[in-house]
Amino acid sequence: MITSKQRAYLRSLSAVMDPIFQIGKGGVTPELISAIDQALEKRELVKINVLQNCEELEGDAYALCDLVAARTHAEPVQVIGRKFSLYRRAEKPQIELPKASKKK
């Protein structure tokens, strides 16, 4: 589980990223999940675009974000319009997250 401070940091990183996957008419296929899973292992942070012709869940980006996050064991970072970002820490992390503050 990532903190709100860490999520804000990841949002700032994903703001300048281009989407590397698109969910379209075919919806969320096992092949797409496998490709996203591999990209998360390599990059840790990915951005995905939901196309207008996406029939699955009527193209609701929030629902698709939750679905893909659950299937890839990733954390949803942000949903803006038809784009969303996911984060999953890799075995060899490339992104250094801010430390979680300890509550007193």
pLDDT the model gives residue 91 = 86
Residue 67 belongs to what domain range?
4-87
Residues 6+ apart with CB under 8 A from 3: 100, 101
* 19 lies in some domain: yes
Residue 13: inside a domain: yes
Looking at the domain assignment, is residue 15 inside a domain?
A: yes
Domain of residue 58, CATH code: 3.30.110.60
Q: Which of 39, 27, 44, 41 is nearest to 96 (CA)?
A: 44
- pLDDT value of position 98: 85
Grouped pLDDT means (10 residues each) for the chain, 104 residues:
91 95 91 96 95 76 93 96 94 84 62
pLDDT at 104: 53
Q: Is residue 99 in some structural domain?
A: no
